[in-house]
Structure 1
Amino acid sequence: MAKQNLDMTIIKVITPIILVLTVLMTGCGVNSNLMFKTPKDFAGYDSIPMSPAYEYRISPDDRVELKIYTNNGSKLIDFSSGGNTNETAIARSSNISLDYLVRKDGFAELPVIGDVLLSGKTIQEAQETLKTLYSSQYVDPFVQVRVINKRVIVFSGNGAEAAVVPLVNQNTTLMEALALAGGIAERGRSKHIKIMRQTPQKREVYLVDLSTLDGLYYADMIVQANDYIYVEPVKQISREVVQEIAPIITVISSAAVIITVITTLK
């Protein structure tokens, strides 16, 4: 009887210690998928830009769509016919558009004129550069350039889910970007939406609250290429702790039962 009481005492003492150690060991894994944490006094609501303060500049790995018209826009040059430099080479369809990759070195290989440095230029600057270069081959060229792989990354607030949203329209709003990503997830906090935007100096962080009608003003802010839109998820501490320690509790309980049975049979 004394031995049985001793065994039960050991079990009662060891079990809480194991549970405490288990919580301490698993605590670092609870809500570990949360990103971009900011202090509670973070002043990210100040000076939220409703439209981009900086014009987008072409970057390496961008794909640029190029259209060129002669006579200041009256004729579309057809590059699909093998790069004929004759200005009378007109596209079979006005819907033709070809795109070209901006390489790591910032250059893009374009028809007729070869390599051209496009990285670092705004769309307007690129069009002016190409207009000058193509003037040696065509009469009064009219150049249109468009970056076709501009996108934003949206984390909808479900922790593990994200979406890459192409910016088809130049004036895509925050609300449109969220809608294209599937909206705010059930676990997402509409009160804490972070927009992280790259500027020439650093990546700025803005906080937007869409939980009330007052936030409708910020829903119309224009997103910019390479913005990160992060809907902060609701923390689920108790649920995740239980999920982490449930298997260990099961093992401890099973061990306690086995020890009790063995002790009783002695």
Structure 2
Amino acid sequence: MQSPQFFRPVITMFLITILTTSCVSRKEIVYFQGLEKADEVLDENINTSLEIKPNDLLTISVSAPEQEAALPFNLPVIGVPQGGMQGELTVGGRQQMQTYLVDSDGNIEFPVLGTVSVEGLSRQELSGKLKEQISEYVQDPIVNIRIVNFQVSVLGEVNRPGTFDVKDEYLSLPKALGLAGDLSIYGRRDNVLVMREENDKKIHAYLDLTDPSVINSPFYYLQQNDVLYVEPNGAQMQSASYNRNAGVYISIASVLISLAVLITN
């Protein structure tokens, strides 16, 4: 019968083997790899203002001192019932403005005016454009516009990853990370990836939050459907190399040692 001293080095080597095998490389755990090798070159003159894009949803309201004159330039308000379909007449429902969908050509169909090109315009620019055209029919019109489908996705090493609706017109990078509960202790602060669709192309940038010059980046203020990814730091990637079943194996090894001791006694 072997003594307990015989089993101890064997078990020790067994545990070391478990804890040091299955090394995981950066390629196996980091999202969106290879973008740094893309041919797309970031244009430093990219407009940082929020621009209207195809598939955006807009609410546009027109008012004037003589409100009756402005009514033809507004879509009818629809009823949204509680727990029902739009348009149903139910008690306790609420009213909601209809939205304009920007088509693939960058246009909307506007009452009285017909087809209006809106792609590439900021909210202020579109407001001025509509105001100028409506002024031919209405004196001193007021045009209010909102982009209602402004969303960003925050992924990776943050405390609450997900897709977030944004009500403000401007969303900075720190505020977006705040919506996701800030970076976790394992997130890299010096290599935050921002991906964006612009002019039917996908562009991206890696931003260093520790560098104050980050506020000058055209990616510092986010746009519709931007995606942020926070890469795990070295410590987190290293921890991923350990076998997740190591705890089970250690427990089994402990039982084997105990049995060996009991048998030899």
Q: TM-score, normalised by structure 1?
A: 0.60
Q: Is the 8 A contact 1:8 1:260 kept in 2?
A: no
Q: Is the 8 A contact 2:50 2:169 kept in 1?
A: no
* Match in the other structure for 2:13: 16
RMSD: 5.3
* Match in the other structure for 2:86: none
* Match in the other structure for 2:250: 249
Give the AA of the match of 1:151: Q
Deviation at 1:194, TM superposition (A): 0.9
Residues 142-196 of structure 1: CA distance to partner in whole angstroms, max 9, x if unpaired?
Answer: 76553302111123733x6314333333333323333444333333222111111
Q: In the TM superposition, what are the counterparts of 1:135-174 in structure 2 within 5 Å?
A: 139=137, 145-155=145-155, 157-158=157-158, 161-174=160-173
Which ranges of structure 1 fall in alignment gaps of 5 or more residues?
A: 83-95
Cα separation, 2, equivalents of 1:11 and 1:246? 18
Deviation at 1:197, TM superposition (A): 0.9
Aligned: 1:35 with 2:36: no
Aligned: 1:4 with 2:7: no
Instruction: Decide whether aligned partners of structure 1 residues 98 and 53 sit closer, same or farther in structure 2, where only a CA change above 3 A counts.
Output: closer
Instruction: Decide whether aligned partners of structure 1 residues 247 and 55 sit closer, same or farther in structure 2, where only a CA change above 3 A counts.
Output: same
Aligned: 1:232 with 2:231: yes
Instruction: Decide whether aligned partners of structure 1 residues 186 and 119 sit closer, same or farther in structure 2, where only a CA change above 3 A counts.
Output: farther
Instruction: Decide whether aligned partners of structure 1 residues 231 and 119 sit closer, same or farther in structure 2, where only a CA change above 3 A counts.
Output: farther
Match 2:60 to one of 54, 63, 66 = 66
Deviation at 1:117, TM superposition (A): 9.1
Deviation at 1:57, TM superposition (A): 1.4
- Secondary structure at the aligned position of 1:233 is classed as coil
Q: Is the 8 A contact 2:77 2:98 kept in 1?
A: no
Residues 34-78 of structure 1: CA distance to partner in whole angstroms, max 9, x if unpaired?
Answer: 42235888999964566349943131xx54323245799884426
Cα separation, 2, equivalents of 1:73 and 1:37? 55
Cα separation, 2, equivalents of 1:39 and 1:112? 44
* Worse-matched range after superposition: 185-194 or 96-105: 96-105
Q: Is the 8 A contact 1:194 1:206 kept in 2?
A: yes
Q: TM-score, normalised by structure 2?
A: 0.60
Q: Is the 8 A contact 1:63 1:100 kept in 2?
A: yes
- Secondary structure at the aligned position of 1:191 is classed as coil
* Match in the other structure for 1:258: 259
* Match in the other structure for 2:176: 177
- Secondary structure at the aligned position of 1:210 is classed as coil
Instruction: Decide whether aligned partners of structure 1 residues 80 and 201 sit closer, same or farther in structure 2, where only a CA change above 3 A counts.
Output: closer
- Secondary structure at the aligned position of 1:253 is classed as helix
Q: In the TM superposition, what are the counterparts of 1:73-84 in structure 2 within 5 Å?
A: 75-77=69-71, 79-80=76-77
Deviation at 1:222, TM superposition (A): 2.3
Give me the identity figure in percent. 17
Residues 5-59 of structure 1: CA distance to partner in whole angstroms, max 9, x if unpaired?
Answer: 5x9757755763575367545x459996642235888999964566349943131
- Secondary structure at the aligned position of 2:188 is classed as strand
Which ranges of structure 2 fall in alignment gaps of 5 or more residues?
A: 80-94
Cα separation, 2, equivalents of 1:217 and 1:68? 35
Aligned: 1:196 with 2:192: no
Q: Is the 8 A contact 1:157 1:187 kept in 2?
A: yes
* Match in the other structure for 2:89: none
Q: Is the 8 A contact 1:172 1:222 kept in 2?
A: yes
